[in-house]
Amino acid sequence: MPATPEGATAHRSIVLADEAATAALAAALARQARPGDVVTLAGPLGAGKTSFARAFIAALGVKDEVPSPTFTLVQTYEAAIGTVWHFDLYRLTSPDEAYEIGLDEALDDGAAVIEWPERLAGRLPADRLDVDIALSHEGEAREVRLAGHGAWNERGLDFGS
């Protein structure tokens, strides 16, 4: 993969044959994660955002069950990297509500995984990894597009998969 210039965005597209492939990618990305990181997870209902988040959080060393935060909007976990915040913003009524449920704190103090980032209407930090999962294949296969901005760009998305 060619080196990407500083300040640009690194892109990578990968076909994930099944849920295990999604989990393996999430774990590979978690191994590159640092305190303060933000990973957004976009894609339609049932795309695999929560499956990805579960594997990502588990790979950060969290042993707890990771329920979908569909109704609670957010769940937090303690990991070596700091507090890990898992948001599902599907039911958010306005971008401001995200701050009431701790988004600011999450961006300050830990790592955040955010399902349905569209609900924030673009109010996202500059340093982040965007993961967009599409149901563009038959059966269990998914196509994932990664876009690494800022600090994630500098890491080059250069991991095995």
Query: Strand 38-42 to strand 128-134: parallel, antiparallel, or no bridges (unpaired)?
Result: parallel
Query: Which stretch, 2-10, 15-23, 79-87, 106-114, contacts ligand ATP (CB under 6 A)?
Result: 15-23
**Is residue 115 near ligand ATP by the rule CB under 6 A?**
yes
**Rounded distance between C-alpha atoms, residue 73 and residue 15, angstroms:** 29
CB atoms within 10 A of CB 122: 7
**Is residue 130 near ligand ATP by the rule CB under 6 A?**
no
Contacts of 126 (CB under 8 A, 6+ apart): 149, 150
**Is residue 153 near Mg ion by the rule CB under 5 A?**
no
**Is residue 50 near Mg ion by the rule CB under 5 A?**
yes
Q: Which of 97, 109, 132, 140 binds ligand ATP (CB under 6 A)?
A: 140
49 or 128: CB nearest ligand ATP: 49
User: What region does 134 belong to: left with phi over 0, alpha with psi -120 to 50, or beta?
Assistant: beta
Return the residue nearest ligand ATP (CB atom): 48
Q: Which of 33, 37, 38, 50 binds ligand ATP (CB under 6 A)?
A: 50
**Is residue 49 near Mg ion by the rule CB under 5 A?**
yes
Scanning 14-154, the segments in alpha helix (DSSP H) are 19-30, 49-59, 97-100, 103-109, 151-154
Residues that bind Mg ion (CB under 5 A): 49-50, 68, 115
